[in-house]
């Protein structure tokens, strides 16, 4: 998803490490992908078109721990 352009920004309210309100700006990216069934089941099941959505915080958070990677 890194090669997909940012499609929009979304501002949300979060809490910092002191439980004080803070704001985060999320970069929203999305794209449609096509997923094929396993080779042995292609006659019984159709391909699926899925929308992948990724929202990632823009910038480095202050006074907040980063979860995940």
Residue 19's domain comprises 8-57
Give residue for tokens 């391909």. Answer: 47
User: Is position 16 within any domain?
Assistant: yes
Distance of alpha carbon 51 from alpha carbon 31, whole angstroms = 6
User: Is position 48 within any domain?
Assistant: yes
pLDDT at 68 over 60: no
pLDDT at 60 over 90: no
Instruction: Report the percent of the chain where pLDDT is more than 70.
Output: 88
Beta bridge partners of 12: 24
pLDDT tens readout for residues 27-48: 999 999 999 999 999 999 999 9
Q: What is the pLDDT of residue 16?
A: 81
User: Is position 37 within any domain?
Assistant: yes
* pTM (2 d.p.): 0.71
User: Is position 22 within any domain?
Assistant: yes
How many domains, the chain? Answer: 1
């Amino acid at each position: 998803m890194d090669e997909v352009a940012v499609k929009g920004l979304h501002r949300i309210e979060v809490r910092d490490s002191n439980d004080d309100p803070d704001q985060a700006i999320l970069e929203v990216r999305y794209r449609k992908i096509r997923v094929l069934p396993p080779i042995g089941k292609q006659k019984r099941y159709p391909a699926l078109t899925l929308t992948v959505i990724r929202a990632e915080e823009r910038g480095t958070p202050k006074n907040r721990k980063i979860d995940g990677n």
